[in-house]
Structure formats: structure tokens, C-alpha cells
Amino acid sequence: MSKIRSMRGLLASSIGVTCAAALALPLTSPAAAARPASPASASTAFAGTASASTAAGAEARGAADARGAADALRGGRAQDAAQAPGSTQSLPLAPLASRDRTLAPAAAEQGLPRRDVRHFSLVGVVWNDPDTVLHGSVQVRTRAVGADTWSGWQDLETHNDDAADPGTAERTSGRVHGATAPLWVGDSDGVEVRVRAEADRRTEDTARGSRTATASAPLPTGLRLELVDPGSSAPAPGTREAAPAAAPRAVVPHDTAPTVEPGAGPDAEPAADQATLDADADAANAGLAAPGATEIPELSRARTERELFSLRAGELTTQQRAKPYIGPRPRIVTRRGWGADEKLRERSFVYTKKVKAAFVHHTASGNGYSCAQAPSLIRGIYRYHVKSMGWRDIGYNFLVDKCGNIYEGRAGGVAKAVLGAHTLGFNTNSMGIAVLGSYGTTKPPAAAVKAVARLTAWKLGLYGANPKGKTYLKSGGGNLYPKGKKVRLNVISGHRDGFATECPGRKLYGKLGSTRTTAARYQGR
């Protein structure tokens, strides 16, 4: 048995689950597997293959990943940091014997028994239809690499309310799936999962007395376990061919309605090399940071005001010109800084007209991460959103870690009105800020709350929005407001204000009042 345990890192699954193990093994050649997959292959991976990782990915992680993450947080990158592409293992769930004999067969649990897998750090469950709600519970337990013991059962949030708006090209692409929130578990190589439908028990009167009947909604079809290895950080700026800071391809001007240019999308766009894709992402932040920068530095209030006139001179109102209410630009770690693999996302950028509101979220991915691991966690969420859920890019416009570090989210430029996929029904003319962690019962760190205030004071200030004010947004359709309804919302709102959800968690939601006041003060109001 000890010999079998020593071979965990080489096995794709436990020997006892031979059929499912075949689905976990790469179905492509090693050379092809080493290439990062395009977004077009997301549906293929979902249909039965595991996205391949290289041997270098498993061997180079560890200390190099932690070192690269810490360097990114300091705004630099160790020159010898090696890139290890991420990967996704996609495993179909199967019926499990139910422990509740009163349940109908259709309500039996689905899952996977305890098994060995390749290294992963983030886990989630997905299903076919993005409009289907999973009424029930999803639990996983994992084994850390090098450990013999297993974690206790951990709950995955079964929401599917972070999403592109109905009717948008992203939502109707045919690649989008329903999903739980992802959970960060750290470097692991063993997993067990169980999914159980919510039971509805009723007492019924019969000729012989009363009896208890149990019914439940069926589980969504196509349930799969997604095991995400975020890979290590991207190569240092000086280790690959530099590309000129040319204008990104297929850019929709940020002062137009949300639109994808004809032919845009992963199936229509020609392949681009890594240097070109990185240059596109860099160019979207032209004027804020030099090409190849791993961070956008903070500015003083005076310099931020000058930058405002430079960036948006032709769009400022008379009031903004006379008295620009804007907070100092905070330090922002760029996509290059957290190691985004730009080949995962769609190449084009999509913009909306303006930023009238900010929706605050929590990622519901757990609080068991260190600040040095935050770039890895973001890479995991990015890969989960694109490869597992079928989105065009990471859904959030910005992310904030527990230490107050701010990260660029969806590509397109931190100062621009990038259309995200964060608040179903209200992505247009808004931005989504996700605080990494779960804050239903846990108090959010003061540093994270302050970072949200600093970020909103700056970004909302670019568009003349008062953090303490109200605004109107038109619903694109959701479970709280019908499509087309104009809704009056706080300029800084919680996710739950636009969609019936627990997000951003009771504890974080309770901090939004002070966040509005602080952000307004940063703006000079």
C-alpha cells in the first residue's frame, strides 16, 4: 500500500475507479498538451477531457510559485521565475448510494468516492445549463500534497448568480455552464465530493393514517467536478520577446454601448502569440503604466486630478472641470503582475458607456489563503471562469485580497468602463469588485475594506459618481428585477442589491455604509 501511496503524483486517479480515471487522463499528445488551450476548447474540455498540464507544471510549482507571488505583490518578479501552465481536471460525477431510504431514486446523491488525482488548488462543480439552479448541497474534502490525513467536509456555495447578462454575446455563446463558487483548498492531490438534492418532506393523510412523503427537485444534468491547478506565475518581463504597445485588436470604444465586434469571439479570432496578447493587455493601460509593468503605481490627489483631465478631457462635465471629485489613484497589480495567461481569454475587449455604480462581492472561495497566495488564487478563479464556466474572461473588474492589495480583473484597461460578468442583470454601466474570501460569518479585514473605498473613490471619480449617492440602472433580467425595469440603487451596492443572493456575505455587506462614507471623503466631498 505504501508503494501505491508513493505513486500518487503519477496517477490520474485511484485504481478502483478505472472507467472515470480514463476521463481524467490527457487525450492529446504531450506536445499539444503543453500549449495553453484557447477559450474555444472550453466546451470540449467540459464534454469529457481533462485540460492537460505538463510535467514541468507539477515540478516547478512549490517554492517558485510562492516566491513569484510575493514578488508580484512587491511590484516585481524574480528574474528566474519559471512559468508553469495551469490545468483543469474535469471529472463526471456518478450516482452514489443514498443514506436516506425515504428519498426517491431520482434524488440519490451524486459524487465521486475518495481518490488520488493530479495536483490542484481550487475546486468547483459545474453542470450543463447555466439557467438551472442547484437546489441542494455540494461538499468536498481534500488531501494536501504529502499528507496522509484528509480535511473535513467543506461546503461549496451553490450560487450561479455571478454571470453575464441575458442576451449578451457572452451569455449566449453556447459555452456557458452553471457552476458553484470555486473553493480554494491549497496544493492537494486527493479529493472526494458529494452532491445532494434538497429534500422536501411533507406529511400526507392516508386511509391508514398519516405518512411522510419525500420529494426533491432533480439535480442538474451533466454534473462534473473541476479541479484547477493555477500554475506558477508568468515569466519575468525580460525573459520573453517584447512586443510594441500597439492598440489592442477588436476594441469597442469605451463610450459606446456594450457590443462585441462582428467576428469577435474565440471561435472567430485567429490565434495570437503570447507576446501579442500580453501587449494587448498592456496597451489597454497605456498612459497609466509602462508596457510590461507588473503594477500601476499609486498617485497623489493632485497628480490624479491631472491624469483625469488627460484621460477624459473631452467627456468631463462643467462641474467636473470646476471641481473634480476623485480619490487618489491606488496601487493596482496588473494582469501581468498576477500572472494571467492571456491565451485563455477572448482576445477582444468589450466596453460599456460609463461606470455609474460599483457592486461589491466576495468570491466565497474560503479564507484559507495567504496574501502571497492571492495571485495563485486569482489565476485559479480566472481559469475556472473561462475553462470551466465558459466565460470570455474573469468575471470581476477588480479583486482585493485580505491584505488590501488591489488587482486588475477583466482585461481592457483599469480606467475604462469594461463590461464584466459579475452581477447578473446589472453588468452594464457598472463595475464588479470581489474581495477574495467568504464573509458570511467572518469579519472582513480592515485593509480589504479600506482598499474597496480607495478603489471606488478613484474609479467612480473618473466618471463623476458620488460614492454616497444613488443612481438608476436598467435591469438586464434576473431573479430580483425583471428585464427593462429601471432600479434606483446605491452607487456602491452589494451584489445582493441587484440579485437575490447572500453575496457579498452578511459581514462584508455590513461594511458598505462606512465604505461609502470613506470613499466620498477620499474624493474630497
Contacts of 42 (CB under 8 A, 6+ apart): 175, 266, 386, 387, 388, 390
Q: What is the pLDDT of residues 48-61, one digit of tens each?
A: 333 333 333 433 33
Q: What pLDDT is stored for residue 99 in this prediction?
A: 59
- Name the one residue in this structure whose C-alpha cell is 500549449: 35
pLDDT of residue 164: 77
Which residues, other chains included, contact 83 with Cβ-Cβ below 8 Å and sequence gap of 6+?
Answer: 231, 232, 233, 234, 235, 339
Q: What is the rounded distance in angstroms from the CA atom of residue 276 to the CA atom of residue 197?
A: 46
Which DSSP letter does residue 270 get? P
pLDDT at 497: 96
Q: What nine digits make up the cell of 486?
A: 429601471
Other C-beta atoms within 10 Å of 100: how many? 13
Q: Cα separation of 325 and 462, whole Å? A: 9
Q: Calculate the alpha carbon distances from 415 to 109, 184, 367, 490 in Å.
A: 46, 29, 29, 21
User: Rounded to whole angstroms, how far apart are CA atoms 289 and 397?
Assistant: 18
| C-beta of residue 115 within 8 angstroms of C-beta of residue 227 | no
Low-confidence ranges of the chain (pLDDT < 70): 1-84, 98-107, 160-161, 200-216, 233-271
Mapping DSSP onto H, E and C, the string for 110-165 reads: EEEEEEEEEEEEEEEEEECCCCCCCCEEEEEEEEECCCCCCCCCEEECCCCCCCCC
326 touches 461 (CB < 8 A) = yes
* Residue pair 193/151 in contact by the 8 Å Cβ criterion: no
pLDDT at 317: 80
Q: What is the pLDDT of residue 212?
A: 55
Q: What is the pTM of this model?
A: 0.77
pLDDT of residue 311: 85
Domains and CATH numbers, the chain: 2-229 (no CATH), 243-522 (3.40.80.10)
- Helix H or strand E encompassing 375: helix 374-383
Radius of gyration for the chain, computed over Cα atoms and rounded to the nearest angstrom: 23
The pLDDT value recorded for residue 242 is: 35
The pLDDT, as a whole number, for residue 475 is 93
344: which 3 cell numbers?
A: 485563455
- pLDDT tens, residue by residue, 113-140: 999 999 999 999 999 999 898 999 999 9
Return the pLDDT at 216.
Answer: 66
pLDDT of amino acid 270: 55
Distance CA 242, CA 237 (A): 8
> DSSP secondary structure string, 462-517?
HTT--TTSEEEEE--S-SSS-TT-EEEEESEEEGGGTSSS-TT-HHHHTTHHHHHH
Q: Calculate the alpha carbon distances from 456 to 427, 438, 443, 466 in Å.
A: 16, 21, 20, 10
Question: What is the separation, in whole angstroms, between the first and last Cα of the chain?
Answer: 68
Q: Name the residue among 166, 102, 201, 185 with its Cα closest to residue 428.
A: 166
